[in-house]
């Protein structure tokens, strides 16, 4: 796979304070890549530099091999961008606005009409082509925003919090649209909603306190923290004090008269220890499972490491 976006030793300073420092990552073709970071972490600064809204203090950004600093116009032709608030003109119709967006993207005059029709069809807004944008729902305004970001068929599309302010049904539709676009575009998606990142993204980049603290697959992100709890079902469960005698067990929670959650630390063979204890004491263990850390726990731990 070819590299669509390469960020190399990227750093930016506001006055005397560094907003980001030595950010490095590469993104290959197609799919959704999540960009995570708490408020003030440097995520927005990174996106603004990639999009050309801001010039970096140090480092380089390459889009399809084009250095954004050396040839910003050509590099930006490869990009589509949807800010958190869609950059739409409320008194334009959908067709008028997308025609304007096509002109801004230097689409050939003879191809503008076709490009507008294609992108409206792809984003499901053709039936609203003559409607004023101010009369659209939040979900459809977001679709118009996505349409302007992909009308020129860019290699990479950057979406900043694309489902913010949408109701549950609109969020589902927006996610579906993002997945469809990702089939032939590379999408860098910023979101604070970790469940959304989990549903949409194949890879994760996380920035915290101006530095990159994680860059790997979604599965690696989910598995970053080792399991700390075990769920067990027993036909003849022991009292809490007996379970606490098993090496590594730190806490016990009885969910039902037969189902128990056990917290542990420092014992890599906790399941084997519990199975052995069950056999020895006739607890009649019928089911045991390590519980994987939830996404929020991973995010919290990575944030604390920065």
pLDDT bracket for residue 303 (50, 70, 90): low
pTM assigned to the model = 0.77
* pLDDT, tens only, 3-50: 999 999 999 999 889 999 999 999 987 899 999 887 788 888 999 999
229-294 to CATH, choices 1.20.1440, 3.30.70, 1.20.58, 1.20.120: 3.30.70
Domain chopping of the chain, boundaries: 3-222, 229-294
Average pLDDT for 243-253: 93
3-222 to CATH, choices 2.130.10.10, 3.40.50.2000, 3.40.630.30, 3.40.50.300: 3.40.50.300
Determine the Cα–Cα distance for residues 103 and 105; give it in Å rounded to an integer.
Answer: 5
pLDDT bracket for residue 243 (50, 70, 90): very high
Instruction: Please name the helix (run of DSSP H) or strand (run of DSSP E) that holds residue 211, with its range, or none.
Output: strand 211-217
Nearest to 53 by CA among 76, 20, 25, 70: 76
């Amino acid at each position: 796979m070819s590299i669509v976006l390469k960020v190399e030793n990227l750093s930016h300073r506001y006055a005397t304070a560094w907003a980001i420092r030595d950010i490095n990552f590469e993104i290959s073709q197609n799919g959704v890549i999540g960009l995570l970071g708490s408020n003030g972490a440097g995520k927005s600064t990174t996106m603004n530099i990639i999009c050309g809204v801001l010039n970096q203090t140090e480092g380089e950004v390459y889009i399809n091999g084009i250095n954004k600093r050396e040839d910003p116009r050509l590099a930006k032709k490869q990009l589509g961008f949807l800010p958190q608030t869609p950059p739409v003109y409320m008194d334009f119709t959908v067709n008028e606005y997308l025609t304007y967006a096509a002109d801004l993207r230097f689409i050939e005059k003879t191809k503008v009409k076709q490009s507008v029709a294609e992108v409206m069809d792809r984003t499901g807004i053709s039936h609203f082509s003559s409607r004023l944008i101010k009369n659209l729902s939040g979900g459809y305004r977001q679709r118009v925003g996505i349409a302007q970001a992909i009308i020129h068929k860019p290699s990479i599309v950057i979406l900043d919090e694309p489902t913010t302010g949408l109701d549950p049904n609109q969020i589902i539709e927006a996610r579906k649209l993002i997945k469809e676009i990702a089939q032939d575009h590379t999408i860098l998606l910023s979101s604070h909603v970790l469940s959304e990142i989990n549903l949409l993204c194949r890879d994760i980049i996380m920035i915290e306190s101006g530095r990159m603290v994680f860059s790997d697959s979604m599965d690696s992100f989910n598995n970053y923290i080792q399991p700390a709890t075990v769920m067990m079902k027993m036909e003849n469960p022991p009292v809490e004090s007996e379970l606490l005698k098993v090496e590594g067990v730190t806490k016990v929670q009885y969910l039902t008269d037969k189902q128990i959650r056990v917290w542990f630390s420092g014992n890599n063979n906790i399941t084997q220890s519990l199975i052995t204890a069950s056999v020895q004491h006739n607890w009649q263990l019928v089911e045991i499972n390590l519980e994987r850390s939830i996404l929020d726990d991973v995010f919290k731990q990575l944030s604390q490491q920065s």
